[in-house]
Amino acid sequence: HELTKLPAFVRVVSAGNLLSHVGHTILGMNTVQLYMKVPGSRTPGHQENNNFCSVNINIGPGDCEWFVVPESYWGVMNDFCEKNNMNFLMGSWWPNLEDLYEANVPVYRFIQRPGDLVWINAGTVHWVQAIGWCNNIAWNVGPLTACQYKLAVERYEWNKLQSVKSIVPMVHLSWNMARNIKVSDPKLFEMIK
């Protein structure tokens, strides 16, 4: 199985991946998801479920264009959505780059070629379009870090305020982490406690 050759931090299943400790399958998160894209098809703006990291590999034959905004600007992106009567969490939105540049929002724009792996860090806002015909595989990972856990719990709580059901059961996951993982990071230990 080719995916087991990847470094541990990007593997679908790994002791160091929080999503491997949920105890059940979350389709497309702790399992591999396939995207078959035609030229011009788009994945609208979003953050990953519960702000987990994601891994995306372009199998080809065509390219994908990515637009990425750091997590610290998610509130600005939410404001843009609200101004345009769009729901940040559930809506289908594609930001106007000129608006973002005028608001001094940094946008990283790059091409993902066949064979390229894209790592989306915790909470990163992103949107993607296919330049050519391409197949992509993707899944989520949760590094055992205080930052990842904090962002996941914050989104779990914000989802509740927005009446959106979280796909990741954070209370259940937290109990499983306490039972199954020897946490060496004092910040993460305190957060779980």
Contact 26, 186 (CB under 8 A): no
pLDDT at 144: 93
pLDDT at 7: 96
Residues written for the chain: 193
pLDDT at 188: 81
Average pLDDT over the chain reads 96
Contact 140, 146 (CB under 8 A): no
- CATH code, 86: 2.60.120.650
pLDDT at 190: 84
pLDDT digits (tens, 9 = 90+) for 153-183: 999 999 999 999 999 999 999 999 988 888 8
pLDDT at 147: 96
Number of domains in the chain: 1
List of residues 6+ apart from 170 with CB closer than 8 A: 50, 152, 153, 156
69 is in which domain, residue-wise?
A: 2-192
pLDDT at 20: 96
Which amino acid is located at 145 in the chain?
Answer: T
126 membership: H or E segment, kind and range: strand 125-130
pLDDT digits (tens, 9 = 90+) for 50-104: 999 999 999 999 999 999 999 999 999 999 999 999 999 999 999 999 999 999 9
| Phi and psi, residue 31, nearest 5° | -135, 160
Q: Does the structure show a pLDDT above 80 at 193?
A: no
